[in-house]
Structure 1
Amino acid sequence: MKLFTASTAATLLAITATAHPVKRQAAVTDADILQYALTLEHLENTFYKGAVSSMSEADFLKAGFSSAYYNNLLYITHDEEQHVELLTSALMTAGAKPVAACTYDFPYTDPKSFVTLASVLEGVGVSAYLGAAGLINSTAYLGVAGSILVTESLHTSVQRFNLNEIAPANPYGTALGLNPVYTLAAAFITACPSTNVALPVMAFPTLTATQGIPAAPGISFTFSVKGSLPSTFFVVFVSGLSTTSVVPSMQGDMIAAVIPATAMGQTYVFLSKSSTNTTLADSMILYGPAIIEVTPPAPTFDLSEH
């Protein structure tokens, strides 16, 4: 049996797809953000309902998960449906036609591969809401997005804990922009209704992680691309509040980069035209993101300050 690892899930998430309607980016409106959020929630809603309808509690118990986990899974499924209903209602109230669910292809085959993929998907969902927050003008919509973000973070912790990963691996959440998130989510979308409004997003070319994870800071990690590369480029690790550029080396066709100490937990990796340790603008991105799981260092704290 082939082991479905976090590396496999991350690789699948890095496949570029364009099944969902997209439009050239212009000024992003609150309605655009709500449609974008609903697109992601439809995906998660279908993902979880597919799992609980095709795999029983007994299947999860046999795979080594607990009844408590399965009960949490049912609540998560309920939450995702509620998110879809709330965003749909908000768009209708605003006079917009909500996007409908698409057709998806999720590659899990058993409880273990499902939970592994769920952990990565939930992490991307958290990054999506965090990254979109700064684009929202309405304080009411911002409050709704923040409320959903909290719940998605709880979902992420449930999945990570049950994979024996450190749930709070990074002291800070990791924000991702609209285009990097779309690049990841579109990998699972095979077709969408033609009546769905086009989203103000675009997908970047694929960056693939080519070795197993979890990884650790100081370890050289390899990536690959199918397209050409400029003579000078950088590998950029985005994790928590940190953006860290690393000068790569080539190992044949593989791109090697040493994982920086700033990378902890679910980390997004890009190839960039130029070095940056602040904001990674879309205009700088050549490939990515790929997703890697980086084991955090041992926790430290000063007990004299309590």
Structure 2
Amino acid sequence: MFTKTFAALIAAAVVLGAPTPPAPSETNILQFALSLEHLERAFYTGALAQYDAQAFADAGFPAWVRGRFTQISAHEQTHVDALTAALGDQAPQPCQYSFPYTDPRSFVALSFAIEGVGAAAYQGAAKFIDDKDTLGVAASILSVEERQVAWVSSAVLKQQPWDGPFETALTPTGAFSLASPFITSCPSSNPALPVTPLPALSISTSTPWPGSTIQLTFDNPDGANAAYAVWLNGLEAVYTPLDGNKQTTVPSGMRGTVYVGVTSNTQVPLTDASMVTGLAIVQMPFDSMAGAADNA
């Protein structure tokens, strides 16, 4: 097991899918942000149109849960409007989406995942924004997204309000690998996004125990050397070797939401060229009610 701590390697900028020069422009980053906001807006408006207050009540949720989701939906529409205005005629249009929720409870669980990816994408993209006013707007949106994640996790799901003292940042390639399964088609006029498409990764359990062995499933059409699993949690990247059956051991010390991918090496900084797959999400939750011994 190999651990890379981002704080100790800050000069090397160890982030998932860090692009090689030239870096994406601010316009590219805003276009990517708007693409994610379009997805989030469609996610909430579609689910709220399908599940009324009675459906949430029948699923065991108090009335205020759907009310808050209605507010979150309005937030996402406002984000879409703001980014569209900023980009003008360079703004991408909404795509067609398909979300695998089947009831209010699966909608809530998926909301937690989607909001987390959106927040991590904003954090990872911040370093590409030079204009201070634009950065301020992005930081404001990021803060709201993080509050929404915390509310869904702690108030609704009764799990952790945060993962730890640091958030996990994802650059566009990592975030897109998690969002792209929900996109069925996009207008041909939309600009190309600053991402590298990667094969999908699935894992045998989404709630693994530290020390357990899990099975990873992915295609490797280019025959890349799939040597390691990388586990991203806060400012840490932990590498665990893959065996010949694409199995690996779950590391200890991970808490909350963890992003997992497959790499060919443990090179620093980690680049798209090292990534064999996109990301998958695993949850190592802890209760929202902290005890005296819980210092997370």
* Residue among 262, 266, 273 paired with 2:264: 273
Contact 1:239 1:267 (8 Å CA) reproduced:
yes
Unpaired runs of 5+ in structure 1? 1-23, 302-306
Q: 1:219: which partner in 2?
A: 212
Contact 2:26 2:129 (8 Å CA) reproduced:
yes
Q: 1:203: which partner in 2?
A: 197
Q: 2:251: which partner in 1?
A: 260
CA distance in 2, matches of 1:230, 1:199: 24
1:202/1:149 CA distance change after superposition, 3 Å: same
SS in 1 for 2:152: helix
Q: 2:185: which partner in 1?
A: 191
CA distance in 2, matches of 1:142, 1:107: 33
- After superposing the two structures, state which structure 1 stretch, 138-147 or 260-269, moved more: 260-269
| Aligned counterparts, 1:89-128, within 5 A | 89-92=85-88, 96-128=89-121
* Residue among 279, 284, 287 paired with 1:289: 279
Q: 1:166: which partner in 2?
A: 160
1:77 aligns with 2:73: yes
| Aligned counterparts, 1:133-172, within 5 A | 133-161=126-154, 162-172=156-166
SS in 2 for 1:148: helix
Contact 2:228 2:239 (8 Å CA) reproduced:
yes
CA distance in 2, matches of 1:257, 1:274: 15
1:134/1:156 CA distance change after superposition, 3 Å: same
What is the identity, as a one-letter code, of the residue corresponding to 1:257?
Answer: T
What is the identity, as a one-letter code, of the residue corresponding to 2:285?
Answer: T
Q: 1:299: which partner in 2?
A: 294
1:35 aligns with 2:26: no
Shift of 1:232: 6.2
* Residue among 63, 68, 71 paired with 2:64: 68
* Residue among 241, 248, 253 paired with 1:247: 241
- Which aligned segments of 4 or more residues in structure 1 are displaced greater than 6 angstroms? none
Shift of 1:146: 0.5
What is the identity, as a one-letter code, of the residue corresponding to 2:95?
Answer: C
Shift of 1:170: 2.4
1:158/1:46 CA distance change after superposition, 3 Å: same
1:175 aligns with 2:169: yes
Q: What's the RMSD between the two structures over aligned residues?
A: 2.1
Shift of 1:167: 2.0
CA distance in 2, matches of 1:279, 1:126: 22
Contact 2:29 2:194 (8 Å CA) reproduced:
no
1:289/1:25 CA distance change after superposition, 3 Å: farther
CA distance in 1, matches of 2:21, 2:259: 22
What is the identity, as a one-letter code, of the residue corresponding to 2:169?
Answer: A
Shift of 1:265: 1.3
CA distance in 2, matches of 1:184, 1:104: 13
Contact 1:60 1:111 (8 Å CA) reproduced:
yes
Q: 2:14: which partner in 1?
A: none
TM-score (normalised: structure 2): 0.85
TM-score (normalised: structure 1): 0.82
CA distance in 2, matches of 1:246, 1:104: 34
